[in-house]
Chains A and B, each alone.
Chain A
Amino acid sequence: GAVVSQHPSRVICKSGTSVKIECRSLDFQATTMFWYRQFPKQSLMLMATSNEGSKATYEQGVEKDKFLINHASLTLSTLTVTSAHPEDSSFYICSARLGFSGNQPQHFGDGTRLSIL
């Protein structure tokens, strides 16, 4: 089946550092990618949707200058948490879908646990 690889799986860094998380679709072309944030014992909250070659669409309340999303190719999207602070500590999950249509399945990465000291 379709595989989405997310890297790194865990990162611990100091406050003020910028952190980049990569999301790759390994065996299909992901026209659309999604980035989610999950707090402990809570549901997944969509942060942004990105289509290859165009700017990401951010959900209300998500700071686009804080969470930079790049989807430059059909197999790679990156999320950069700029000048991270302890409140940015969370579990981040990416998801990829082939095509723009809603009837295409959505495949999830294994997530990245970000801890800011």
Chain B
Amino acid sequence: AQTVTQSQPEMSVQEAETVTLSCTYDTSESDYYLFWYKQPPSRQMILVIRQEAYKQQNATENRFSVNFQKAAKSFSLKISDSQLGDAAMYFCAYRPRGAGTASKLTFGTGTRLQVTL
């Protein structure tokens, strides 16, 4: 079974600074997707960034980028120029490429990010 581990329950960053959230996963699959989701106090799940395992290039979305290390099964999220609106719970998630009910998301336990002035 796949597992996703986020070892940092809480992180804090000052506004305009950079923070990195850690995520490791375990799988025997070779083709899969990795995601970072943001859940603000409103509880809505918002997709931040997505990485396809067969792509070596790290995904980037504006101030958000990932460091994907496939051999190490590591998938960290870097937030640059942090803003107050970045404060939220961040979940790392894994999904195999397969079809049907086998292709389901597995979430990590989450990291709560605080952004201070």
Contact = CB atoms under 8 A, between A and B. Distances in A.
Interface of A: 32, 34, 38, 42-44, 46, 49, 51, 57, 91, 93, 95, 100-103, 105-106, 108, 110-111, 113
Q: Is the interface of A mostly helix, strand, loop or mixed?
A: strand
A51 B43 contact: no
B3 to A, nearest CB: 12
Contacts of B28: none
Interface in B60-105: 91, 95-105
Contact of B108 (A43, A105, A113): A43
Interface residues of B, number: 24
Interface of B: 33, 42-45, 47, 50, 91, 95-110
A98 to B, nearest CB: 13
A106 B104 CA distance: 10
29 contacts: A32-B101, A34-B104, A44-B91, A44-B105, A46-B105, A46-B106, A49-B101, A51-B100, A51-B101, A57-B101, A93-B45, A95-B45, A100-B99, A100-B100, A100-B103, A101-B99, A101-B103, A102-B102, A102-B103, A103-B33, A103-B97, A105-B50, A106-B105, A108-B44, A110-B43, A110-B44, A111-B43, A111-B44, A113-B43
Given A43-B109, A101-B97, 12 more contacts: A38-B43, A43-B110, A44-B45, A44-B105, A46-B106, A49-B101, A51-B101, A102-B96, A102-B98, A102-B103, A106-B105, A110-B42
